[in-house]
Structure 1
Amino acid sequence: MEITPTIRAEVQTYLIRKSLTMTEFGHMIDLNVGTVSGIVTGNRSISVHQLDRITMGMNLPPDYFYERYIDECIEEEPLNWRRISPFLYRCVELGRLDCLRRVVGMLLDNPVYLPSLFEVAEDSFKKGYTEAAAFLYENVAEGEKYQYSERLAVCQYRLFTIRIGDDQEKNYDAAIQFEPYVDRLDEVDQLDALKDLANTYRSLRKWNKVELFAKALEIKADIQYKLDQAHDVKKENLKKPVSPPFAYWAFSHLLRAEVCEARKDYEKALQHTYKYADLSWVKETDEVTFEWKKRYEEWSEANAYVNKLHAGEVSILADYVTFFSSRKEEILPGLDNIIEAANRFRLDIDHILKQFEKEIFTLLDKPECMGVYNQQFTTERFTHFLRGLAIYLLRKGRFSEGFAFLFSCLERSAEANNRIQAIRCMRLFTHFKEHASAHTKEVYGNLIKAVNEDEE
């Protein structure tokens, strides 16, 4: 069995091999000779900063000694947060999650370190080191699982944020897991948490859940707005939400309008739409307020068109197309709404599809989220549009094009683990199967085989 030399022994061997004195090496790595001598002789503990300087001077990878550092400088000495903390941050920065796990495992035996580990998690999350942050949040949450604490709720909120992605099943699991912790968050943080939960369920088309959290958001936002307006409260001492409170209130009604639309209650949907359209009661006059008011004014105009169109007022179709054609972020929702209305009312929209042919094929490459629409909403909306477009084309007897869009929808639904949409695609193919060529049936068979293999 090969014996690995200690850090000190390897540094000493390097100095001998390179014929360097401690003074010369100290000048190279910007450490004084006393520090170098103390490290080499074992009379001085090594900080991670000093270790990084030594490693750089030896032309080695920055994490070369990290496993031995844990063995020699952390495990064999009393735990010291001032020495351990910089090492944890370096492990995060260098992606050494194996070293991070070893050290955190030692610290978790003492609950006193949980707040400090939480701070490392927060810093890592803010800097975009999500994998390391998730590991830390999970361990802090486990350590505090029996505490009714805000810190536990924040851990769960961060984990929810990190876990949300393209997989619809995982998104649903993440939302369900986070739900019980929303009320434990700070009142201000609850605004964004409720918005994020509602948006997640919106992309899953879980309308009862969307309505539940939209109502809660309205109440919380109303309270927060009134607190901001209270003259006896010093505003500079108040924690501020990401967006103005009235914007959350307006968004709650936008969500509830969408719920009503999904339930085909278009009259009630319009009532909610008109509520967030009129924000004249908002007293602030700053630029941020102006921008939010303008945004909701445009959304209300768009959604008023949508509600009327789905209610059967097809005469507004041309005006609606004119409205969203000049707004890039509204093209996908606009096309989806129009194709849905076309299928419901048997409208001929070939001229509109021709007008947006370039945009449709651009979306096929990669639907990008724009404006306030997140990736989950965009991905789900695009698969919904693809299936609607397939229905439209197949009904018109344009089978080759229809099957092509249907297969694209099926493939993307499988990638996003959107089982309901995938099943609908398979049912649609079965319905029009007699019009499929032998080649089309073969392509479908291979696609289903690939989907089944992914499931397994």
Structure 2
Amino acid sequence: MNHTTTIRAELDTYMKTNGLNITRLGRTAELNAGTVSTLVNGNRTFSVDRLDRITAVMGHPRGHYYKQYMQEYLTDITPNWRRVRPFLYNCAELDKLDCIQQMADLLMDNLVYSVLLFNVAEDFFKDGKHAAAAILYESVAISERKQYSERLALCQYRLFTINIGDDQNQNFEAACHFHPFVDRLDEIDQLDALKDLANVYRSLRQWAKVDKTVQKMRDKAKIQYSLDHRQHKRKKRGNERKTRGPLFGYIAYADLLCASVCEAQGDYRQALQHTYAYADLSWVKETDEDTRHWMELFQHWAQGNIYVNKLLSGDVSVLSDYVEYICAPPDKSEKELVTELLNIMMAANRYQIDVDDILQRFETEIDSITQHQPSADMYTHQVIPEQSTRFKYELAKYYLNRGTYEHGFKYLLDVLSRSFTINHEAFFIRCVRLFESFQDFADDQTYLDFESLVREGQKEKLFYY
């Protein structure tokens, strides 16, 4: 929108039209008369707070004049940061991303503002204003002259976190783009970054990349753990950087993910060896309550995964023990349950096991699995949706093989539809092949729904006939 008059001129016109003098305007805007006088007469520059107050008096929504304000007051050769900073925060609050982009473009002509904008981006990121943060991270990253600077790497880490979504192809591109920056991060941030990367690669079933990433994470975590326990480190400084979780957990989690890699490759014997490794945490030196909590969790996960590896290798005798293990904790989280039920369904389809009673036992929980909520945690955000989709595919396969066609086709069409969201060609093709094997048992409506989804898949280039 191109303005032919200034904000001050529009205010002057409003005051004359509505018969307002400086005193009445100040009272209505909750500003003292002296301040209003200097604003009206052009002797003082509007702050964004005063602009908001005046805008409200004139009957406009907050932010109505922001583009005009930016052009009139924030485009100096050396913009006043005391005015720019609150303006950016207000723009983020009002989701005025175009104003943030224009302001960032203007400021980055002067690299003095790089650190200031980065700090604002960090505030936006912590507050969950990711779209606004991404604009500033991009601007700071582009302007960074030192390609091996930690700030550039941290910008790329934040952008990686922000850009991870449902589209698996985009997630792979985001992971590949970020991977070279990991080593440029602070040693502590590297551990969290490697863990996040490993979880994204895991959701993509890129097992070679998972293995390489967690091996690196384990090596770095062992070094940090050793440094943390040297004699001269006993008295720790209060301002030390900390990982999101306990240091020993990154070593144990590396073994857990290595077990997942072996399991995916069908090497259950080696998967068990990795599982036994993170089950035995006798080497952990800490004894605080948080450490005990995490140790109990890893030992609990190990117990379940020992059952899983035996079950998937064909030892069906452990199934009942595994089910009791699943039911034991009263506060079982959904992300644990998804993985555990998926394991059961994979074994059921692989070894033709009747698990109808188990499915009935978890009927309520299975219904809730489809209602996945977004999460900032990379594991919950990436791995759980992928496993939920695989679980529904295994359910479809199980019911179709057992002649329960209504349930089977329902889950199959659900997975087929979900493939568009995650842009997952492999899931789509597997669903099409499975449907074709049982198409003679589909009713007319199911067939019509399937053909509609296939046409959509061809449009999205997920499938070709």
Identify whether the pair has TM-score above 0.5, normalized to the shorter chain.
yes
Call closer, same or farther: CA 1:145–1:199 in 2, change over 3 Å.
Answer: farther
d(CA) in 2 for partners of 1:272, 1:345: 25
Runs of 4+ in 1 over 6 A off after TM superposition: 369-372
Stretch moving more, 245-254 or 109-118: 109-118
1:283 counterpart SS class:
coil
Q: Residue 69 of structure 2 corresponds to which residue in structure 1?
A: 69
Whether contact under 8 Å (1:257, 1:269) holds in the other structure is yes
Alignment TM-score, normalising by the size of structure 2: 0.92
- Superposed CA deviations along residues 202-225 of structure 1, whole A, max 9, x for unmatched, are 111110111111111111111121
- Looking at structure 2, the residues matched to 425 and 145 of structure 1 have their Cα atoms a distance apart, in angstroms, of 48
User: Which deviates further from its counterpart, 409-418 or 17-26?
Assistant: 17-26
Q: Does 1:360 align with 2:362?
A: no
Over 3 Å counting, the alpha-carbon distance change for 1:248 and 1:76 in structure 2 is closer
Instruction: Please report the TM-score for the alignment, with normalisation by the length of structure 1.
Output: 0.94
Bigger Cα displacement from structure 2, 25-34 vs 296-305 = 25-34
8 Å contact from structure 1 (residues 273, 300) kept in 2: yes
Given the alignment of the two structures, is residue 122 of structure 1 paired with residue 122 of structure 2, yes or no? yes
Give the 3 Å change call, closer, same or farther, for CA 296–2 of structure 1 in structure 2: closer
Offset of residue 147 of structure 1: 2.3
User: For 2:344, which of 327, 334, 338 is the aligned residue?
Assistant: 338
Matches within 5 A, 1:18-37: 18-37=18-37
TM-superposed deviation, 1:368: 4.6
2:253 — aligned with what?
A: 251
- Superposition pairs for residues 158-169 of structure 1, below 5 Å? 158-169=158-169
* Larger mean Cα displacement after TM superposition, 223-232 or 260-269: 223-232
Contact kept, 8 Å, 1:387 with 1:409, in 2: the verdict is: yes
Residue 142 (structure 1) aligned with residue 142 (structure 2): yes
Identity of aligned residues (%): 49
- Which of 278, 289, 292 in structure 1 is aligned with 2:291? 289
Per the TM alignment, residue 389 of structure 1 is displaced from its structure 2 partner at its CA by 1.7
AA aligned to 2:120 is V
Contact kept? 2:281, 2:295, Cα under 8 Å: yes
1:78 Cα deviation (Å)?
A: 4.0
Secondary structure of the structure 1 residue equivalent to 2:53? helix
User: What's the counterpart of residue 44 of structure 2?
Assistant: 44
Is 1:213 equivalent to 2:219 in the alignment? Answer: no
Q: Name the structure 2 match of 1:440.
A: 446
In the alignment, what sits opposite 1:261? 263
User: Does 1:419 find its partner at 2:421?
Assistant: no
The alpha-carbon distance between structure 1 residues 369 and 306, as it changes in their structure 2 partners (threshold 3 A), is farther
> How many pairs does the alignment contain?
455
The amino acid of 2:104's aligned partner reads V
AA matched with 1:367: H
Q: How is 1:50-449 mapped onto 2 (pairs within 5 angstroms)? A: 50-75=50-75, 78-144=78-144, 147-233=147-233, 234-236=235-237, 237-326=239-328, 327-329=332-334, 330-364=336-370, 366-368=371-373, 373-449=379-455
Structure 1: gaps of 5 or more residues: none
Q: Out of 158-167 and 367-376, give the one that drifted further.
A: 367-376
Residues 1:11 and 2:11 are matched in the alignment: yes
Cα gap change, 1:409/1:104 in structure 2, threshold over 3 Å: closer, same or farther? same
Q: 2: distance between equivalents of 1:25 and 1:77?
A: 32
Contact 1:145 1:152 (C-alpha < 8 Å) held by counterparts: no
Q: Do the aligned partners of 2:196 and 2:379 also contact (CA within 8 Å) in 1?
A: no
What CA distance in whole angstroms lies between the structure 2 residues aligned with 1:288 and 1:395? 46
Offset at 1:318? 0.4
Supply the distance in 1 between the matched residues of 2:432 and 2:86 (Cα, whole angstroms). Answer: 54
CA shift, 1:308, in A, is 1.1
Per mean C-alpha deviation after superposition, the further-off stretch among 217-226 and 392-401 is: 392-401
Q: Tell me by how many angstroms 1:130 deviates.
A: 0.7
String of CA shifts for 1:145-174, please: whole Å, max 9, x gaps. 652111111111001101111111111111
Question: Cα deviations across residues 426-447 of structure 1 (Å, max 9, x unaligned)?
Answer: 1112223344344432221122
Contact 1:368 1:378 in 2 (8 A): no
Distance in 2 between residues matched to 1:159 and 1:436, nearest whole Å: 45
Distance 2:171 2:378 in 1: 19
Paired residue type of 2:437: H
Q: What per-residue deviation string (whole Å, max 9, x for no partner) do you get for residues 184-215 of structure 1?
A: 11000111100100000111111011111111
* C-alpha displacement of 1:2: 9.0
Instruction: Tell me which of 443, 456, 462 is aligned to 1:450.
Output: 456
Q: Is the 8 A contact 2:3 2:68 kept in 1?
A: no
Letter in 1 for 2:426: I
RMSD value over aligned CA atoms?
A: 2.2
- Give how far 1:15 is off: 2.6
| Uncovered stretches (5+) of structure 2, i.e. residues with no partner | none
Select between 157-166 and 90-99 the one with higher mean Cα deviation.
90-99
